[in-house]
Structure 1
Amino acid sequence: MKNSTFNTVCLTLLLSLFAIAAQAHALWIHTSSTTELGNTHEFKVYYADYHEDAIESVADWYSDVEDFELWLISPSGIKTKLEPLAKEAHFEGSFKVEEKGEYQLQISHTAKVLKGTTAYQFNAFAQVWAGKGKAVPKQARDLSLTRKPNSSTFQVNYKNNVLPDASINVLGPDKENQEFLTGKKGKAKLDMDSKGKYFVEVTYTDKFKADDPSGLKAIWRCATQVIEVD
């Protein structure tokens, strides 16, 4: 009985640690998903754990996460590095809408390892549609989380290949947490029927070989999108 109780406690602790890791801080891009030609479109970038209502001050961001690079990809595939300004608890900036179609804001930042043998990579996406037009051309990315306009079906790709059986975590406007698994084609249809903000996140851990020259055992990756349903 003692061994059984001990094993149960250990399993509970492991599951708790897994749950914490799956709902940890991440980078998030906040912006409207629609705009119009000629607009100056604004956005903000936060480092937060919305499950815990925790938005970190920029001064407290983990490692060198504040050194992220933010890229804008236009409907015609033009890639532009943006330079958002740091505020107390977020970065903010804007871009000029000069084409019809889909714009994407993209961040992919692997934080400097402070201790341990796991690296942490933060990917964040925002998709902005300026009327009907071209979709952003496919990009070479590590972990991505995207959707089509006005759709609640998300596509998860890893290194440009679909990622099946990936767990997508969603925090809805009612603060209820949902989890979905992607199918064989890396797709998952989410429940987004209520009005408000949805915080959508997928995580994936890439384990390295024991003799990897980096000295690391794994890299934990996450990809996020904030969707506001009107």
Structure 2
Amino acid sequence: MKSITIKKAILLFFLLMATPSLFAHALWIETNSTGIKGKSHEISIYFGEFSDNDITKSEKWFSDLKDFTLVLISPSKKETKLTTKALENKYQGFFTPDEEGVYTVVMHHKVKDVYGTMVLDYNSSATVVVANKKSGNYATANNNVIGLFIENADIAKKDVKINVSALYQGTPAKSQKLKVIAPNGWEKELWTNDKGEISFTPLWSGSYMVEFAYTEKLSGEHNGKKHDEIWKMATHLIIVK
């Protein structure tokens, strides 16, 4: 009986030790911020540590992470679930725009397994501008519980300020910590204002990651396992020219 108890304690220790490393990893969408009506547009989903350029091979994604949902919201608010296929280091999907305006791509997945006493909830989004931004260019097009929005991601440039909006349950996420990661791995933490916004000025060209993590203290059961909290993360990649 004692040996079983010891084994359980050891297992719990390793789960708790493993969880922070999972937190360092994120799911994110990469796609061109502009598209062409009638032309196929590629979307890629990656998992790994962005700041270290450490991409996890798709076959090694933990638990049921590969079962994420990917939804496309058109400028006219039409929702389409997209299918993806596994490549060596990412999942890949496509859509063909048939409207002008801003398309929103939304990824979500709540991990099946409970880690320690925590549920992991991953979220990501991206916007694709087709011809103009007359419709669809608003933050709440992304209906995930936690999300990020950049109004002018398609024209992001080096040395020009970028504004980022953070939302939680469809409303501005005030006084929340966001992380900005530069192409060279440089990181900075910023706190949102009373409008749920931060701003930063990119010093280099390349891909920037914005991360917003929030832990909800909530006890309950998830797939038959007890939990005390739900860790939620939203990501948004910005390509700076």
Q: Same fold (TM over 0.5)?
A: yes
Match in the other structure for 1:171: 181
Residue number among 154, 160, 165 corresponding to 2:170 in the alignment: 160
Distance 1:127 1:102, change over 3 A: same
Show CA shifts across 1:197-229 (max 9, x none): 1011110101115xx355311000100011111
Runs of 4+ off more than 4 Å: 20-23
Q: Does 1:197 align with 2:207?
A: yes
Structure 2: which amino acid aligns with 1:164? K
Q: Using the aligned pairs only, state the percent identity.
A: 30
Ranges in structure 2 where 5+ consecutive residues have no aligned partner: 1-16, 157-161
Show CA shifts across 1:82-110 (max 9, x none): 00111121111211011111111101111
TM-score, normalised by the number of residues in structure 2: 0.81
Contact 1:23/1:49, CA 8 A, preserved across alignment: no
**3-state SS in 2 of match to 1:208:** strand
Q: Does 1:223 align with 2:234?
A: yes
Match in the other structure for 1:120: 120
**Distance of 1:208 and 1:84 partners within structure 2:** 32
Ranges in structure 1 where 5+ consecutive residues have no aligned partner: 1-16
**Distance of 2:22 and 2:205 partners within structure 1:** 25
**3-state SS in 1 of match to 2:239:** strand
Distance 1:157 1:22, change over 3 A: farther
1:76-155 superposed matches below 5 A: 76-132=76-132, 133-136=134-137, 138-139=140-141, 140-149=143-152, 150=155, 152-155=162-165
Aligned pairs, number: 210
* CA-atom RMSD in angstroms: 1.9
TM-score, normalised by the number of residues in structure 1: 0.85
Match in the other structure for 2:39: 39
Match in the other structure for 2:11: none
Distance 1:119 1:105, change over 3 A: same
